[in-house]
Amino acid sequence: MKKEMSKVYDPKDVESRIYAWWQEKDYFKPEVHQGGKSFTIVMPPPNITGQLHMGHAFDDTLQDVLTRFKRMQGYAALWVPGMDHASIATEVKVVEKIRNEEGKTKEELGREEFLKRAWDWALTYKDRIREQVKKLGASCDWDRERFTMDEGCSEAVKETFVRLYEEGLIYKGSRIINWCPDCKTALSDAEVEYAEQAGHLWHIRYPIAGSDDYVIVATTRPETMLGDSGVAVNPNDERYKDLVGKTVILPLVNKEIPVVADDYVDVEFGTGVVKMTPAHDPNDYEVGKRHNLEEINVMNEDGTMNELAGKYAGMDRYECRKAVVEDLKELGLLEKIEDHVHNVGECYRCGTTVETMTSEQWFVKMEPLAKPAIEAVRNRDTQFVPDRFSKIYFNWMENIRDWCISRQLWWGHQIPAYYCDDCGEMVVAKEMPAVCPKCGGTHFTQDENALDTWFSSALWPFSTLGWPEKTPDLEKFYPNDVLVTGYDIIFFWVARMIFMGLYNMGEVPFADVYIHGLIRDSQGRKMSKSLGNGIDPLEIIEQFSADALRFSIITGNSAGNDIRWQDEKLEASRNFLNKIWNAARFVLMNLDENIMDQQDAALANLENTDKWILSRMNDVVRDVTQNMDKYELGIAAQKVYDFAWNEYCDWYIELVKPRLYGDDETTKAAAQYTLNLVLTNILKLLHPVIPFITEEIYGYLPGAGEAIIVSEWPEYDEALHFKQEEEDVRFLMACIKSIRNIRSEMDVPNAKKTQLFVITDNAARGELMLKSAVYFEKLASVSGISAIVKDDVQENYVSAVVEDAELFLSMDELVDKEKEIERLNGEKAKLEKELDRVDKKLSNKGFTDKAPEKVVEGEREKQRKYQEMLDKVLERLAYYNQ
């Protein structure tokens, strides 16, 4: 006999031991089901800039639930873990660390030494994140862990860059880009977040050349006027038709700039005249291209003004803004200033207001890549769950602009472009060329820019499997089956993986994209450091256990919707774990060790309660499997919870106790077999969500396999569908609940038993109740059951009506007469007081005439209700006082 379970479940003892055992046995490897059909998930790689937070815990738990489910179904399930080098965020952290600890800049260290520090940082945080994810119970194959800058992923990046360049899909050019003056790097459109900011709209007079007249332009960024190269009006605006083709004098700079006509100008906004600064505004840039306007960049990379800004050179952009406004006032060229709230772009990493400026960068030509990626989702080769998120995807992809992929950073994949030191010829290649194809020179300098982090993570579904090499893993596990991610990075990451998968592999990278929401605080706010409302999952694991955290995350979750975090759920989850532990302990204490060897005899002697719980278990197995297949993980978990707690623990265990303690070995064996079988399946259904406790309990069960993690997932069995027994037991449960309700309402202690009298026209139901007397005795404190007819009903009986039967209990047996009279008199006094209040209100003509009819009718309804309740109390008092 296996050792006895401890009285109290101790997750601190269990979880680390179980996880180490799983790893030792290689259960996380897909080879555990070598011949099985493949199932693949790649972990959205966390950045190496911090530690596990609730978003990671949520995302990883969902992936682990799906992986464990598929593994138990016999799939060769591969969950690939990994981390992202996070170019901007990591470089910021490393620079800050060097400055704080050594008082140096990265430039003072030099590129080579800085990269050593960055790699030290990466290795430290990779180890830290790995151990944190393990604490959660993640069953990913750690031997296949990848990093976006490991040798294989770097090879994939270079291969993709060179291919795209050679096919004309990557180019280098000067275009308008987003620039972060704090991070000092270019950003893609997706890396700019927009937030409402309170600002101003400055109305500035631009004198018309050769005239005493002027036009008024409105701008939110006066400092950029120093780079104006034109003004624009709408060609259909009658006010300015005569102005088109003329020139205006640019204030402060005192040079003539042309007036152009373009449909871009909104006649209704401001004055209908728009300053054109092609080097500092994406819309102006496009207008400038159409009208050959000069691009004048007046700003440095750090947000200060450059030499083209004239006397304002060296000023910070906001300092310059103030100076420009003051100078315009002095010259009488400032018409007015209006308050103006508008959306302003901010760096997604540091929150600094982004500048748009022309800059020479590397770009990916997006239209040829976006088109097949749009069609793949439209044709449902890849499906979003829920489907509504495909609209976000289409909206972004159909309006996508060329992707700026160069970053002015040292940490990251250095762009594989090399410049000949002798003639300046550029060569794009996977490795530094030996000889310049133009001049024969042998000395080259590599492009100093790094690639956008999302370039490497866009290759994640196949670079992690060994591409560009044709590896066995790539052949077996690509395409992935599902991507699990939050709705906040659909365009950051999901869209890029789809078009890169189609480009490099010729097929979509995953069949499904399961989109989950965010975990918010109890007030519905996003968790953040600034609000101080973040929750550390590691602290929760320490206090409550990983299983409790996982169960709290999964229950109540529905695809695409945010979750509000509630501490009460943790308590409820811990209570559920204890309920399962205690139920299992009770079952094991009452099982024969060889019970599973008696299957045939047990199945031949099942009673209706056994068949009921087996049939219900069968339904739950079917429903949970269907829910899991549809990614309805929260519903699946809730169904197992309800079945395990309410039907198995609270009902079935109580119903079979008399048989377990009785002398009939045949019916005892049937009960033991059923208890064990249903508990085993409950544990299997719960395992993907709460893996630790289920594995621990499973190890004690007679007839269990080597480990629940690789056990077979339960399947629906038509032979276990017992419709009549389900109906019969549901009827008995309804009867027992009704009796319990009567006793509860009358505050009758369980020790006080009473005879049950039954009236029914359904002979089968009557016989069932008489045969089930033991259940009523144990679960409803009934001393015996008798069938009666209407004429036998006495005045002192209280009754309850259930389907097919009327139940009667004797009040004299249930109630202490003096105490009941005292209680009823108290009820009478309260009801009379309420009635008096309502009567006075309704007799007040001022109230009935002036109050809304709905309110008056509400008071009349209260009057009727209180009167009915008082009548019943008076009737019972009359009975006791006769």
Other CB atoms within 10 Å distance of the CB of residue 103: 8
Are 623 and 681 within 8 A, CB to CB? no
Per-residue pLDDT tens digits for 581-601: 999 999 999 988 787 788 888
Per-residue pLDDT tens digits for 762-774: 899 999 999 999 9
Other CB atoms within 10 Å distance of the CB of residue 235: 13
- Rounded mean pLDDT of the chain? 92
Are 520 and 527 within 8 A, CB to CB? yes
784 or 869, higher pLDDT: 784
Q: How many residues does the chain have?
A: 882
Mean pLDDT value across residues 174-188: 88
The residue ranges of every structural domain in the chain are 180-356, 546-721, 726-810, 818-881
Strand partners, 357: 177
pLDDT confidence bin for 526, thresholds 50/70/90: confident
pLDDT at 439 > cutoff 80: yes
Q: What pLDDT score does 14 carry?
A: 95
Nearest to 488 by CA among 456, 518, 454: 518
183 or 152, higher pLDDT: 152
- Residue 523 has which token pair? 């007030």
Other CB atoms within 10 Å distance of the CB of residue 751: 6
Residue 354 φ/ψ, nearest 5 degrees: -80, 145
* CATH class of the domain at 546-721: mainly alpha
DSSP-derived 3-state class of residue 581: helix
Tell me if the bond preceding 468 is cis, omega within 30° of 0.
Answer: yes
pLDDT at 453 > cutoff 70: yes
Q: What pLDDT score does 535 carry?
A: 80
Q: From CA 46, how far away is CA 52, in angstroms rounded?
A: 8
Nearest to 146 by CA among 469, 416, 503, 459: 459
Nearest to 118 by CA among 90, 150, 99: 90
User: The pTM is what?
Assistant: 0.85
**Residue 526 counted as an annotated binding residue:** no
Q: From CA 246, how far away is CA 209, in angstroms rounded?
A: 8
pLDDT at 825 > cutoff 80: yes
Per-residue pLDDT tens digits for 469-506: 999 999 999 999 999 998 887 777 999 999 999 999 99
Other CB atoms within 10 Å distance of the CB of residue 4: 10
Strand partners, 194: 345
Residue with tokens 């529905």: 558
DSSP-derived 3-state class of residue 793: coil
Strand partners, 186: 179
Q: Which CATH number fits domain 180-356: 3.90.740.10, 3.30.420.40, 3.40.50.970, 3.40.1190.20?
A: 3.90.740.10
pLDDT at 792 > cutoff 50: yes
Residue with tokens 């106790």: 657
pLDDT at 327 > cutoff 50: yes
Q: What pLDDT score does 692 carry?
A: 98
Category of 813 on φ-ψ map: left (φ > 0), alpha (ψ -120 to 50) or beta: alpha
CATH topology classification for 726-810: hypothetical protein PF0899 fold (3.30.2320)
Q: Which CATH number fits domain 818-881: 2.60.120, 1.10.287, 3.30.300, 1.10.150?
A: 1.10.287
Q: What pLDDT score does 271 carry?
A: 85
Residue with tokens 């139940």: 807
Going 578 to 583 to 589 to 594, the CA torsion angle's sign is negative
Residue 359 φ/ψ, nearest 5 degrees: -160, 150
pLDDT at 814 > cutoff 70: yes
Strand partners, 420: 444
Q: What pLDDT score does 1 carry?
A: 39
Q: What pLDDT score does 530 carry?
A: 60
Mean pLDDT value across residues 633-640: 97
| Percent of the chain clearing pLDDT 90 (strictly above) | 71
Q: From CA 722, how far away is CA 712, in angstroms rounded?
A: 23
Nearest to 577 by CA among 679, 688, 699, 694: 694
Per-residue pLDDT tens digits for 341-364: 888 888 877 888 999 988 899 999
pLDDT at 2 > cutoff 60: no
Q: From CA 561, how far away is CA 632, in angstroms rounded?
A: 12
